[in-house]
Chains A and B, each alone.
Chain A
């Protein structure tokens, strides 16, 4: 498998880009997603409506179309970034919608009694969100969130279509030179599977530690 030995540096660098994109977008989407959920369940109707539109938009529009728009239309709306950060931004915003949906279902599993007890103790809405609702909601949906993160890691491959040199695009370029698609793409596939496995195991470990035993 000489393609591996001769291109190891480039491939590892590309893998680093992939992992970096997945991690940054992952953290970003988790934070943004929770914020969107808070808006979605807040008492302010405008915020609820805005959050609803947000999630509906990103759930119904393909990621590839969004990437193309972000790379070519955003600069004219005032935001120009290098390609990789643009891709990370799009991935963050896109997956945040899925995170928001997951956390919202988690919020709905929080017992009414919890919230009422918080109110009885005099906690404000913001405080009850911060200390009661969101922590329990997150702990209830560790598994679906893990799946969202896996989907995110897989979606970093799409950035290849807009020119970001990450693992899939590097594998494609290497294949153009060596013309051994079966070996090259199978190896790449195994790497992605390993990434997904790590995320899945991580989610499982986190879940065991924070699971709410009802």
Chain B
């Protein structure tokens, strides 16, 4: 019998008693879970929230178009942040690995600060602080700049983990072939490092797409804000936000599934779970990183 479950080393192939226990457990779980779900749905319905007339407006293609354009705005913002943030992030990662102490300190300092400030606070600072200094940006940038500041730091850590996980032999071989250090980095180390951490990067993209929902606060045309405007139009607050949640779930879920397929198949030991590499620092089970 093949082991399908990655963690099934925890228990033996069940014998008859084990199988019986599993059946009992399954029955209890189904009843419990189904019961909770059913209860919630029933109460929901008894408040009239499942009425057809509350959901029919969503059969209108124009409404979907409105929301999907909002999703487009979300993706635009995410793409801009990803582009800027990844460039900035690579620079920061290299800075943190630099031999020059000042650069290392500056990069590390920036990374540590940017990772521990709530993005919402950065957005408020942009909304209120910059106009006082006379600077003003279009709405897209009011969202993109705070997100870039925060996400560049996370990208930097992911890329740094990738660089450090590469065997030393790669850069040593490149140097011995006569490549200069920056050429080594550019031609040998970085491409491989990024390829290694691609799943983490995609997972971070999912996290980024979620963060763009903060565009709600700056009234940027993204999915959540469009959901808000729609809800004031059709007075169907609950249904609208449920639909918006569904759109996020489907789109991000596909990305997450894509990311897990990008992982090298065949490693039994689970690498860092994708969702965690985004916010967890670089931690490799076999190469512990001392926290600075």
Contacts and interface: CB of A to CB of B under 8 A. Distances in A.
On whether A and B touch (CB less than 8 Å), the answer reads yes
Interface of A: 40-48, 50, 55-57, 59-66, 68-69, 72-73, 76-78, 97-98, 101-102, 104-105, 107-109, 112, 115, 119, 125, 128-129, 133, 140, 143-144, 147-148, 150-151, 154-155, 157-158, 160-161, 168, 171-172, 175, 179, 181-182, 185-186, 188-189, 192-193, 196-197, 200, 203-204
Given A65-B244, A65-B245, A193-B113, A46 B120 contact: no
Contacts of A158: 118, 120
A44 B237 contact: no
Given A188-B121, A197-B116, A107 B280 contact: no
A171 B121 CA distance: 9
A150 to B, nearest CB: 7
B47 to A, nearest CB: 4
B117 interface: yes
B216 A161 contact: yes
B233 interface: no
Max chain B C-beta neighbours (<10 A), residue from A44, A186, A200: A44
Interface stretch (B22-30, B63-71, B177-185, B190-198): B22-30
Closest 4 CB pairs of A and B: A196-B116, A181-B128, A60-B252, A157-B118
B141 interface: no
Q: Is the interface of A mostly helix, strand, loop or mixed?
A: helix
Nearest to A48: B5
Nearest to B244: A65
A185 B125 contact: yes
A127 B25 CA distance: 16
Nearest to A204: B291
Chain B interface category by residue count: 35 or more
A125 B10 CA distance: 8
Interface in B205-239: 206, 210-211, 213-214, 216-217, 224, 227, 237-238
B116 A46 contact: no
B18 to A, nearest CB: 7
Interface stretch (B86-94, B98-106, B158-166, B266-274): B266-274
Given A108-B269, A185-B121, A98 B279 contact: yes
B44 A76 contact: yes
Contact of A56 (B6, B39, B216, B256): B256
A60 B248 CA distance: 7
Contacts of A140: 285
A76 B238 contact: yes
Max chain B C-beta neighbours (<10 A), residue from A57, A60, A63, A151: A60
A166 to B, nearest CB: 11
